[in-house]
Structure 1
Amino acid sequence: MSQFTTEHTPAEIVKVFPKASDLFKERRIDFCCGGDRPLGDVFKEGKIDETVVLGELNSAFDSWKQEDHEIVDWDAIPPTELIDHVVHTHHAYLNEELPALGQFVTKIFRVHGANHPHLKELHRLYNDFKVDMEEHMIKEEGEVFPLIKEYEKNPSEKLLDHIHEANGGLEDEHEASGNILKRMREITKGFEPPADACSSYRITYARLAEMEADTFQHVHLENNILFKKL
């Protein structure tokens, strides 16, 4: 792909140019759950200046191509291998990070909540996200991913129908979790700590931003690549 246009979807762009996800997050352009809509439609709906965004996007892509990057063709990777990557990379990260980061979210709410009322909502949102993602990953690893691996070895229409039904529920859960992350970003002003924030406050926001980035990539790989293989 030499240049991105309004006909390309955010999901297609992130497949080719992973760093585009940073620009999309800044512009609040969905590249995972709703990432299969053409940019032209997204720009119209969000009243976004397409000339500016496409200019930034293609300029960044041109610079990125000059660097030495290993480009992963996710579409060429078999489902089982992709599932193993998701589990050992993204699920492993969340299983370790969710409890640890939860302690920081609770701490800054306890210490700074009186002066920063949005931390009460952040605390609630984070815990909703934590429970949703933990249950979601258990369902994927215990039910859906084994079905997909079985289908890769022994394909059948009955099994495929079962997978499609299960995937519909997973995509709904992805969208709900994505909406929680968007709300967290909104109330924290893009995870930008206030000027008087202590080190714990700053660490919490930095780790929330990192978790958001990892989760969006995680959902992108499932929704736009793994599930589309089926």
Structure 2
Amino acid sequence: MLLEQPLGQLATRIAGATAVFHQFKLDFCCGGQQSLGEAIAKRGLNQQQVLAALEKLQRQPQAAVDWHSEPTPKLAEYVLTRFHQRHREQLPELIRLARRVETVHSDSPHCPHGLANHLADMQQELESHMLKEEQILFPMLVRGVYPFGPISVMLEEHQEHGEALEKLDKLSFEQQLPPGACNTWTALYLGLRELKEDLMQHILLENEILFVEPKRPGHGDQSCCGSCQ
């Protein structure tokens, strides 16, 4: 039954579920261990609306990659190219846009004061986090080694990233634009929503699949790429 399943599990097994969770503001990455029913109750949502949206997705053809069945090297490479590289592109521009909005619209009650500095802090923390994954953890995972210590550190830092996203939402009024917002402000909030969705998906794949010792090809068998050997 969907209501009894953890959000993280649903998000990685139903294509498009993350869009539904974003729509209803359900935390499927750092809050991925709570059941769908618990999350719905906590937010006071209409249970049938959420279930109907997920059940509709289940009836559709599943075109998305099932990362549970893919070898670890392939998933690790995907995380590096799809998320690590993208975050490094997103944050410098978002910081620039935020500083511009805070300067030009400082008198507005809707101005996201402190957002640029918060994004700069996020950039620093994320860069440190990603380097540890790239230089230490991911090479071990590709070799089929799942070290408890480094994985625990990364999971703790994921919690901190989730808290940073909550602060980002607060500073930016959940990316709700004021009437007559300029193009820079509009671009900033569009970019923040993209960053938030990307980072949540990034954390989800690592927490629920990549950091979990798998029962799938990719660890020294003949179906694995040569980098695992």
TM superposition score category, shorter chain reference? 0.7 to 0.9
Task: Report the CA distance between 1:118 and its aligned residue.
Answer: 4.7
| Deviation readout 1:107-140 (Å, 9 max, x if unpaired) | 1111112214651232232122111111111111
Q: Per the alignment, do residues 113 and 61 of structure 1 end up closer, same or farther by CA in structure 2, a change over 3 Å counting? A: farther
- In 2, distance between residues paired with 1:86 and 1:185? 24
Map of 1:8-47 to 2, 5 A cutoff? 8-47=5-44
In structure 2, the partner of 1:176 is 160
Task: Calculate the aligned-residue CA RMSD, in Å.
Answer: 1.9
Give the whole-Å Cα distance in 2 for the aligned partners of 1:215 and 1:164. Answer: 23
Deviation at 1:55, TM superposition (A): 2.2
Structure 2: which 5+ runs fail to align? 215-229
Aligned partners of 1:125 and 1:184 also within 8 Å: yes
* TM-score normalised by the chain length of structure 2: 0.85
1:56-87 deviation per Cα after TM superposition (whole angstroms, max 9, x unaligned) = 3323543xx15xx5231101111121111101
Q: In the alignment, is the contact (CA less than 8 A) between 2:8 and 2:32 conserved in 1?
A: yes
Cα deviation for residue 92 of structure 1 reads: 0.8
Matches within 5 A, 1:180-219: 180-219=164-203
Q: 1:5 aligned to 2:2?
A: yes
- The residue number in structure 2 matching 1:132 is 125
For 1:76 and 1:61, the matched residues in 2 are separated by: 18
Matched, 1:115 2:108: yes
CA deviation after TM superposition for structure 1 residue 45, in Å: 2.9
8 Å CA contact retained: 1:144, 1:166: yes
Q: 1:187 to 1:57 in 2, by over 3 A?
A: farther
Any conservation in 2 of the 1:7–1:40 contact (CA below 8 Å)? yes
Letter of the aligned partner of 1:39 in structure 2?
L
Contact between 1:79 and 1:226, CA under 8 Å: does it hold in 2? Answer: yes
Aligned positions of 1:40-189 closer than 5 A = 40-62=37-59, 65=60, 70-116=63-109, 118-150=111-143, 152=144, 160=146, 163-189=147-173
Equivalence for 1:228: 212
Per residue, is there more helix in 1 or in 2? Answer: 1
Contact 1:17-1:61 within 8 A present in 2 as well: yes
TM normalised by structure 1 equals: 0.85
Distance 1:229 1:148 in 2: 9
- Alpha-carbon distance in structure 2 between the residues aligned to 1:183 and 1:54: 29
> How big is each residue's C-alpha offset from its partner over 1:164-206, in whole Å with a ceiling of 9 and x where there is no partner?
1111111111111112112322443431211121000000100
Contact 1:16/1:71, CA 8 A, preserved across alignment: no
**Amino acid in the other structure paired with 2:154:** L
Cα distance change, pair 123–144 in 1 and its aligned pair in 2 (3 A): same
How many residues end up aligned between the 2 structures?
Answer: 214
